[in-house]
């Protein structure tokens, strides 16, 4: 990893301890950092606000233009997140009116219990899974118009599932069970649902796989949920991961979050996933190779990251994902951490989302 990569990994955390601050100050003192590269990579990876907030706490002697950009990123993303929260609350209320219940996924769920402030990371869209309420009739009423309006405004709301969690049907995820075990919450006074802690963690690991495991926002979500989220029942999590044919994905995401952001795993957590020693060793070696030879700021290591993504899948799911990737045009270029975000996204986004390809992201 480059010095700029190490800087981002040190700063992409909510618990920014004195040891992290000292390491950042030492890195800034000893290395000739390319600040334009670091800022651009942080923005592409969705962590510019938290990185900026932590850098401003250090005596790093930031260039004036960089300091201004980092400060602006915090205020810009705070405004975007506030707008998105209002939009989500309005959307949830409208869905209830047409007899559809909503489950908050990924960042929308993490905003309730994991993010200390809503602005800490940037997101392109909001993700929901919907299920019919007692009085819902398919094709009746205004539910199609409501869902279409939400999609238009960056809220991806799939009925009885979600394409991100299943990787567009690649994984046999049991959403009926997920809904049965979901828990009620209130978002700005509106009723909604969130996954069980184990299902939420699995969904975050799947999201990291979709981003080729080295998009920092995805790893940040895994690491911070381990630190600030509810205690996990690791044997249960492992059993659910195996049922969803994604134990390799979960293993890879957890190791990648540990090796990049220092995510804390309890003793024996990885062993519950029951990967064979050769497979687990191969995945760990690929992660180590990326961290040694790849970079978060450019395309170096991209082929290795893509190989790791497919290696984390079972063979049948790997072939299914590859077939989808080859036959379906990419619809969401901004998911590739090595490509620029789509116009209108990022820290200053007004933020219209679009349906993602769901398989390992391509540029």
212 and 256 in contact (C-beta within 8 Å)?
no
Q: What does the chain come to in residues?
A: 363
Report the relative pairing of strands 183-187 and 155-159 from DSSP bridges. Answer: unpaired
81 and 119 in contact (C-beta within 8 Å)?
yes
Q: Which residue has the tokens 């998911």?
A: 335
Residues of the chain with pLDDT under 70: 60, 136-141, 329-363
Residue 154 in domain: yes
User: From CA 25, how far away is CA 30, in angstroms rounded?
Assistant: 9
| pLDDT at 151 (0 to 100) | 83
The DSSP bridge partners found for residue 132 are: 100
| pLDDT at 294 (0 to 100) | 85
| pLDDT at 57 (0 to 100) | 85
Residue 277 in domain: yes
User: From CA 76, how far away is CA 350, in angstroms rounded?
Assistant: 10
User: How many folded domains does the chain comprise?
Assistant: 1
User: From CA 207, how far away is CA 250, in angstroms rounded?
Assistant: 10
Tokens coding 150: 């939400």
User: From CA 24, how far away is CA 38, in angstroms rounded?
Assistant: 13
Tokens coding 33: 């950092």
Residue 354 in domain: no
Residue 96 in domain: yes
105 and 195 in contact (C-beta within 8 Å)?
yes
CA 128 to the chain's CA centroid: 14
Residue 222 in domain: yes
User: From CA 156, how far away is CA 86, in angstroms rounded?
Assistant: 16
Residue 258 in domain: yes
Give, to the nearest 10 degrees, the angle between helix 64-97 and helix 143-152. Answer: 180
Residue 362 in domain: no
User: From CA 156, how far away is CA 245, in angstroms rounded?
Assistant: 24
DSSP secondary structure string for all residues of 246-288: -HHHHHHHHHHHHHHH-----TTTGGGG---HHHHHHHHHHHH
Query: Would you give the DSSP letter of residue 311?
Result: H
41 and 71 in contact (C-beta within 8 Å)?
no
* C-alpha count within 13 angstroms, C-beta hemisphere, residue 279: 17
C-alpha closest to that of 187 among 123, 121, 96: 96
Residue 356 in domain: no
| pLDDT at 140 (0 to 100) | 59
| pLDDT at 331 (0 to 100) | 60
CA-CA-CA-CA torsion sign (284, 285, 286, 292): positive
Quickly count: other Cβ atoms within 10 Å of residue 256's Cβ: 30
Residue 321: which domain range?
3-335
| pLDDT at 111 (0 to 100) | 92
User: From CA 151, how far away is CA 363, in angstroms rounded?
Assistant: 22
How many angstroms separate the first and last alpha carbons of the chain? 22
């Amino acid at each position: 990893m480059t010095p700029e990569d190490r800087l981002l990994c040190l700063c992409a955390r909510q618990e920014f301890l004195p040891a992290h601050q000292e390491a950042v100050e030492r890195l800034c003192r000893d290395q000739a950092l390319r600040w334009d590269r670091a800022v651009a990579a942080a923005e592409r990876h969705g962590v510019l606000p938290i990185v900026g907030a932590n850098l401003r706490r250090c005596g790093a002697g930031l260039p004036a233009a960089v300091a201004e950009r980092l400060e602006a990123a915090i205020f810009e993303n705070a405004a975007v997140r506030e707008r998105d929260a209002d939009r989500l609350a309005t959307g949830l209320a409208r869905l209830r009116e047409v007899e559809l219940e909503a489950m908050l996924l990924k960042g929308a769920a993490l905003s309730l219990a994991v993010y200390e402030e809503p602005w800490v990371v940037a997101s392109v869209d909001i993700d929901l899974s919907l299920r019919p309420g007692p009085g819902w009739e398919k094709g009746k009423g205004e539910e199609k118009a409501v869902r279409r309006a939400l999609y238009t405004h960056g809220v991806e709301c799939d009925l009885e599932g979600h394409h991100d969690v299943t990787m567009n049907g690649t994984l046999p995820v049991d959403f009926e069970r997920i809904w049965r075990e979901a828990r009620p919450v209130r978002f700005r006074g509106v009723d909604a649902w969130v996954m069980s802690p184990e299902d939420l963690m699995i969904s975050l690991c799947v999201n990291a796989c979709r981003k080729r495991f080295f998009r920092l926002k995805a790893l940040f979500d895994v690491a911070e949920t381990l630190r600030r989220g509810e205690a996990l029942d690791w044997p249960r999590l492992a059993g659910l991961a195996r049922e969803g044919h994604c134990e390799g994905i979960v293993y890879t995401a957890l190791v990648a979050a540990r090796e990049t952001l220092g995510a804390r795993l309890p003793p024996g957590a990885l062993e519950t996933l029951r990967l064979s020693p050769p497979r687990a060793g191969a995945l760990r070696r690929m992660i180590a190779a990326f961290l040694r030879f790849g970079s978060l700021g450019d395309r170096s290591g991209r082929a290795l990251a893509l190989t790791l993504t497919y290696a984390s899948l079972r063979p049948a799911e790997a072939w299914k994902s590859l077939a989808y990737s080859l036959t379906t045009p990419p619809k969401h270029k901004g998911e590739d951490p090595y490509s620029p975000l789509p116009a209108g996204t990022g820290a200053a986004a007004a933020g219209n989302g679009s349906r993602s390809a769901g398989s390992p992201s391509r540029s």
